[in-house]
A and B are shown apart, each in its own frame.
Chain A
Amino acid sequence: MSQSESHPPSRAPAVEPRLSTLVGDRVCIKCSFNLAGQPVVRESVYGMAIVRCPECSTIASLQEYPILGRWAGRMAAAIAAVWLLVLILGLFATAGVMFGMTQSGIQTGSEKLSNAISKKHKEWADTASAQETAGIKQMFGTAQVVTTGPYVWIDSTWWSKQDKGAILAELGGPMRAINWQFANIYTLQAFLAALLGAVWSVFLLNLKRYRLFIFALLPFGLAFGFAFLANTTSSRVGMRWGSGAYAIEEASAMLWPYLVGTGLGVGFVAFCIGSWIGRPLVRRLALLLLPPRMRASLAYLWIAEGKTPPRPPMPK
């Protein structure tokens, strides 16, 4: 029996529900025509998925795996959901770490200005009348002595009458009013951001590396949002008690845009650098630390970027 007799061109049934389109190359077993792009239909007799060759009408069977029940699909959906949840939580954790370090930098960076504010406040308290310092006496009693330092309570009535711009100008502008020791914190923040960038670049292997820079806007945008909420005057009510606030709170309310901008800017650049070098670094580590047998399991690290995975050495 010849091959053509064994596969008579089938008549197209009236209704063949179209399932999909064949993706990838597959040649017709009779005429070798490339079936790529042909519709995948379900034949009416057995309900099998088939592709019909447009040249010779020969049916090409498609391999269909038996469904393992509904639980396989449910498990796959659950795993995908858990992974998505992990990524979202990771996003918030990254934003949280960056926000926390920036806040720490704000506290350190505002110390110089807060000292200047508390000194001015002390000068005023030493010369003010009893009526003017009634707020302080009400808060702390008559025995309380007004001192200087970042964590000194500042009377809000006095503070509201001060020219904030003039205090900054006295210190030589905002950049000179900042205690630059916050650079130590931001160095650590840069290191952490680079590490997180490297981790994210491996987690998001489906993204091209330059797109990771766009992704970086997400955690840093979130961190900026947190910082904005935490530092704008309207939300600092919790930091106030009685009719005043700590000198450092007033100082950081003035300096936070500069310090947040510097901290998150440094973090963003470090995150981008980390995400750029993260994948090559992990690939290098895999080559150095994993035996060749295990490297094959991580071949996607290479394939995702269009590189050839390392070949195991030929046995001698």
Chain B
Amino acid sequence: MPLAHVCPVCGSQLARTRGVAGPAGCLRVVVCTCGFAAVRRKHPVVVRWRKFRSTTRAAAFLLFQTLLVFGLSVASAGFITWFESDLKFLDLSPHRFVGVMFGIPAPRPALVERWYDQGGVAFLIGFGLMSLAAGAWLRAALAHWRWPRPIFAWVVLVSVWVWFEALFWPLTWLDGRISGTRTDYSGPGVRSSLYMFEILAASVLVSFAASPVGAAISGVLASMHKRRFKRRLTRLRKARRGE
């Protein structure tokens, strides 16, 4: 027996009466044969438990997303600055490095050989995979953003981390002035910045290429959600009919 839904005017049992969409749209209204109308309500224990579950789920998802956006962007910036310092060591610019990969002779081939031997390939694969993951995530998790806005936001965010030292240099300078220590500028120079910009552009291109994967994941998730909702609706309808 469902919870009591008795008409307060004529005493009819309204438990089995179907609720119809009321004038407010979102409220389901039960209309008795005597003309009395009431909003269909759920038991507060059920409502509160569901609200608690949905709130914690949303809060956990928000925390997860925040950590992911932070982690992925910082990791991307780390890869970019690391790769830039490696290229400086190899005496190569990013586009020249691509040329070396395709057989153009490097100015210092022994260093390039050593870099490859010391895990350069693994580094490049890791960087590529991370850029792919970032692209897929941008499209799947930020599906409510109009494409390609997430990519632009991503470029801005990663740039903030890459040029963090330069952006917050005034604060470092002020800190040095207060503490009385010598604080010379230690951020990236013009050449380093150009190299990092090139690497960032390449990484964004890889991320962009991975966006169809993200779109597919987003589509699968949406259809799964719809299917689950339909199943629930069917179950409720069957229960209402007493099947």
Contact = CB atoms under 8 A, between A and B. Distances in A.
A308 interface: no
Contacts of B181: 181
Interface residues of A, number: 31
B50 to A, nearest CB: 10
Q: Is the interface of B mostly helix, strand, loop or mixed?
A: helix
11 contacts: A3-B9, A66-B4, A183-B175, A289-B69, A292-B144, A294-B57, A294-B58, A294-B62, A297-B51, A298-B55, A298-B58
Interface string A98-142: 000000000000000000000000000000000000000000000
Given A29-B8, A184-B175, A285-B62, 19 more contacts: A29-B36, A65-B3, A72-B45, A180-B178, A181-B179, A181-B181, A182-B179, A184-B179, A187-B171, A187-B175, A285-B66, A286-B62, A288-B142, A289-B142, A291-B143, A292-B144, A297-B55, A297-B59, A298-B55
A6 interface: yes
Interface in A43-84: 60-61, 63, 65-66, 68, 72
Nearest to A179: B179
Chain B: number of interface residues, binned into ranges: 20 to 34
Contacts of A179: 179
Interface in B77-132: none
B64 to A, nearest CB: 9
B55 A289 contact: no
Nearest to A292: B144
Given A6-B10, A181-B179, A184-B175, A290 B45 contact: no
A72 B46 CA distance: 11
A294 B144 CA distance: 11
Nearest to A282: B62
A295 interface: yes
B180 interface: yes
Interface string A290-316: 111011011010000000000000000
A180 B62 contact: no
A3 B171 CA distance: 77
Contacts of B23: none
A181 B62 CA distance: 37
A295 B58 contact: yes
Contacts of A63: 41
A298 B143 contact: no
A289 B179 contact: no
Interface string A170-212: 0000000001111110010000000000000000000000000
B44 A65 contact: yes
B58 A297 contact: yes
B179 A180 contact: yes
B180 to A, nearest CB: 5
Contact of A289 (B65, B175, B180): B65
A179 B3 CA distance: 71
Given A286-B62, A297-B58, A180 B180 contact: yes
A3 to B, nearest CB: 8
A120 B62 CA distance: 58
B54 interface: yes
Nearest to A187: B175
Contacts of B55: 297-298, 300
Nearest to A293: B225
B141 interface: yes
B241 interface: no
A297 B144 contact: no
Interface in A3-18: 3, 6-7
A291 B144 contact: yes
Interface string B7-18: 011100000000
Interface in B24-48: 36, 41, 43-45
Contacts of B143: 291
A63 B8 CA distance: 9
A297 B54 contact: yes
A98 to B, nearest CB: 20
Nearest 7 CB-CB pairs, A to B?
Answer: A297-B58, A289-B65, A297-B54, A180-B179, A61-B8, A181-B179, A294-B58
Contact of B61 (A68, A181, A290, A292): A290
A16 B132 CA distance: 72
Q: In this complex, which of B41, B55, B62, B178 has the most chain A Cβ atoms within 10 angstroms of its Cβ?
A: B62
